[in-house]
């Protein structure tokens, strides 16, 4: 872990910020919901009280209209004694002289100041200050009827709801913070695994892979992608190492030969003839090296993909025809046959020169190896269109390539086991170049057995003709 600088401070963690932001959003929604609940409970309750007050006042006024002040006072007495809501019910019948005639509220002149709507008032009940909801009604005989409700219970409910809301909010906030930390911890563990692996790879341990890629979540997916990329990079590195080794070998061998010859020719008293010969050999060897260099550069160029911007629609017919017209004289001179079958529907996007070079390589090989199985070489070049694929197939009647050798074919400088009697000239770069060119064009090379002979099929994505 020491190689990976840790993420300092919770705010620098994306996971923490995401979890926290999400938690705060949840908290906000919760607050909104709780306010609605609070509002509904408290305000609803208040409306209910007001309605009851209005009803009670009307009922008592009707009683007064029926039986006068005595009947009203009696009814108030009954109401207060019936045991229903007697804690919170408040009544007052105040005579014209502002004396209390009935009820449980002290008489006071200021009750007369109330208009006929319901309002909240402060009062003293049983020696205790209280808040009341009251409705005053002036009666015909000059007395005043006050109906009210002590808001103490209501207050209790409001307080209870408020406390519950606050408690719920605090618990939620706590959960959000703890959740954010846990979430962050989990993400950080997963990320740390990736970062650790990256750090090790940076330090040169290219075989390292991210653990836990066998799970099925997003991080496992990411880990799998990275692991696959690492596999590919490792392959490429191995390839590069192999190539540099083989290049070094293939260049150093002729170079040391040249040096040896030149040094020998340089020694005092060497005959002129030998010097001239040494110079000739040197020129020939260096020319050969130049060819190898050109071919390696061509492969590298194809592999880099730089040529793709020059791609244009091409008929494979034209390419095959051009190459066959280049090699027909050679085939004739060797007593070989070189046949061409065309199909004008095989059109691809590509680089004419590169594709021609690839086909030339294949035809060259086919003519070289075709005659090795006894009898003259018979080479067939066939252009065809199969659904979305445009193909150039080069078929020979040579010894073919054993199935076990096929995967290694196309590696730079890889050559088939030599026939010691009649070695085939070449550098072992032909098929490597063909494969690089075909890959550049988004196609593939398939080798199969013609029994006897080799079939090389170059398959390229076809364009609509």
Pick out residues in 337-396 that bind other proteins (CB under 8 A). 351-354, 356-357, 360-361, 364, 367-368
Q: Does 32 bind other proteins (CB under 8 A)?
A: no
Residue closer to other proteins by CB (options 407, 423) is: 423
Short-list 130, 127, 126, 95, CA closest to 111: 95
Phi/psi region, residue 142 (left: phi>0; alpha: psi -120 to 50; beta: rest), is left
Tell me if 454 sits within 8 A of 401, measured CB to CB: yes
Among 326, 345, 447, 463, binds other proteins (CB under 8 A): 326
Tokens representing residue 74 in the block: 């009696």
Question: Residue 338: in which H helix or E strand, if any?
Answer: strand 337-341
What is the C-alpha separation between 20 and 118, in angstroms, rounded? 47
Q: Does 428 bind other proteins (CB under 8 A)?
A: no
Q: Which region among 64-72, 145-153, 219-227, 292-300 touches other proteins (by CB under 8 A)? A: 292-300
Residue 405 φ then ψ, to 5° = -85, -25
Q: C-beta of 333: minimal distance to other proteins in Å? A: 5
Q: Which region among 28-36, 173-181, 323-331, 407-415 touches other proteins (by CB under 8 A)? A: 323-331
Residue closer to other proteins by CB (options 33, 297) is: 297
Residue closer to other proteins by CB (options 154, 298) is: 298
One-character DSSP codes across 288-317: HHHHHHHHHHHHHHHHHTGGGGG-EEEEHH
Q: C-beta of 318: minimal distance to other proteins in Å? A: 11
Residue closer to other proteins by CB (options 153, 301) is: 301
Q: Does 250 bind other proteins (CB under 8 A)?
A: no
Pairing, β 100-103 against β 89-94: antiparallel
Residue 291 φ then ψ, to 5° = -60, -45
Q: Does 301 bind other proteins (CB under 8 A)?
A: yes
Among 82, 332, 388, 405, binds other proteins (CB under 8 A): 332
Residue closer to other proteins by CB (options 157, 291) is: 291
CA distances from 177 to 10, 24, 173, 256 (A): 11, 9, 6, 72
Tokens representing residue 180 in the block: 């954010």
Q: Does 330 bind other proteins (CB under 8 A)?
A: yes
One-character DSSP codes across 186-200: HHHHHHHHHHHHHHH
SS3 427: coil
Q: Does 186 bind other proteins (CB under 8 A)?
A: no
Q: Does 164 bind other proteins (CB under 8 A)?
A: no
Please give the DSSP secondary-structure letter assigned to residue 111: G
Instruction: Please give the distance of CA 77 from its chain centroid, rounded to a whole number.
Output: 78
Tell me if 376 sits within 8 A of 342, measured CB to CB: no
What are residue 341's DSSP bridge partners?
A: 382
Among 77, 169, 426, 428, binds other proteins (CB under 8 A): 426
Q: C-beta of 355: minimal distance to other proteins in Å? A: 11
Tell me if 105 sits within 8 A of 145, measured CB to CB: no
Q: C-beta of 327: minimal distance to other proteins in Å? A: 6
Applying CB under 8 A, the site for other proteins has a residue count of: 34
Q: Does 277 bind other proteins (CB under 8 A)?
A: no
Residue 379 φ then ψ, to 5° = -115, 135
Residue closer to other proteins by CB (options 150, 396) is: 396
Residue closer to other proteins by CB (options 23, 398) is: 398
Q: Does 312 bind other proteins (CB under 8 A)?
A: no
Q: Does 329 bind other proteins (CB under 8 A)?
A: yes
Tokens representing residue 321 in the block: 């025809």
Rg, the chain, Cα only: 50
Q: Does 4 bind other proteins (CB under 8 A)?
A: no
Short-list 346, 336, 388, CA closest to 367: 336
Residue closer to other proteins by CB (options 192, 289) is: 289
Q: C-beta of 250: minimal distance to other proteins in Å? A: 15
Q: Does 325 bind other proteins (CB under 8 A)?
A: yes
Q: C-beta of 243: minimal distance to other proteins in Å? A: 18
- Residues engaged in binding other proteins (CB under 8 A): 290-291, 294, 297-298, 301, 306-307, 309-310, 322, 325-330, 332-333, 351-354, 356-357, 360-361, 364, 367-368, 425-427, 430
């Amino acid at each position: 872990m020491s190689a990976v600088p840790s993420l300092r401070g919770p705010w620098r963690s994306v996971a923490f910020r995401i979890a926290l932001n999400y938690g705060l959003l949840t908290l906000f929604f919760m607050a909104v919901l709780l306010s609605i609940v609070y509002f509904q409970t408290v305000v609803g309750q208040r409306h209910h009280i007001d309605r009851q007050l209005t009803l009670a006042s009307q009922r008592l006024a009707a009683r007064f209209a029926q039986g006068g002040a005595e009947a009203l006072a009696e009814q108030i007495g009954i109401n207060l004694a019936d045991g229903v809501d007697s804690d919170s019910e408040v009544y007052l019948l105040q005579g014209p002289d502002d004396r209390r005639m009935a009820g449980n509220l002290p008489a006071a002149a200021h009750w007369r100041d109330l208009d006929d709507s319901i309002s909240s008032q402060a009062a003293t009940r049983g020696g205790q200050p209280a808040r009341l909801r009251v409705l005053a009604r002036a009666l015909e005989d000059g007395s005043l009827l006050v109906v009210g409700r002590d808001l103490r219970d209501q207050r209790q409910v409001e307080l209870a709801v408020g406390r519950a809301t606050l408690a719920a909010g605090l618990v939620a906030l706590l959960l959000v913070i703890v959740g954010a930390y846990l979430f962050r911890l989990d993400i950080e563990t997963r990320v740390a695994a990736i970062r650790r692996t990256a750090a090790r790879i940076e330090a040169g341990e290219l075989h390292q892979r991210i653990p836990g890629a066998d799970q099925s979540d997003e991080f496992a997916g990411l880990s799998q992608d990275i692991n696959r990329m690492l596999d590919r990079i490792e392959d490429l590195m191995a390839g590069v190492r192999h190539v540099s080794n083989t290049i070094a070998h293939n260049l150093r061998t002729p170079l040391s030969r040249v040096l040896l010859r030149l040094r020998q020719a340089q020694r005092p008293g060497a005959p002129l003839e030998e010097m001239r010969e040494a110079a000739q050999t040197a020129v020939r060897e260096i020319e050969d090296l130049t060819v190898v260099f050109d071919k390696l550069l061509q492969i590298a160029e194809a592999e880099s993909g730089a040529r793709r911007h020059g791609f244009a629609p091409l008929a494979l017919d034209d390419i095959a025809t051009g190459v066959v017209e280049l090699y027909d004289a050679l085939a004739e001179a060797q007593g070989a046959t070189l046949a061409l079958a065309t199909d004008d529907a095989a059109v691809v996007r590509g680089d004419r020169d590169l594709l021609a070079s690839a086909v030339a390589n294949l035809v060259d090989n086919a003519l070289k190896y075709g005659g090795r199985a006894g009898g003259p070489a018979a080479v067939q070049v066939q252009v065809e269109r199969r659904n979305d694929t445009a193909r150039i197939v080069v078929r020979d009647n040579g010894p073919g390539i054993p199935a076990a050798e096929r995967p290694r074919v196309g590696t730079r400088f890889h050559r088939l086991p030599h026939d010691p009697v009649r070695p085939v000239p070449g550098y072992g770069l032909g098929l490597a170049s063909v494969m690089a060119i075909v890959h550049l064009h988004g196609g593939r090379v398939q080798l199969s057995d013609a029994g006897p002979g080799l079939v090389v099929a170059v398959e390229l994505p076809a364009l609509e003709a």
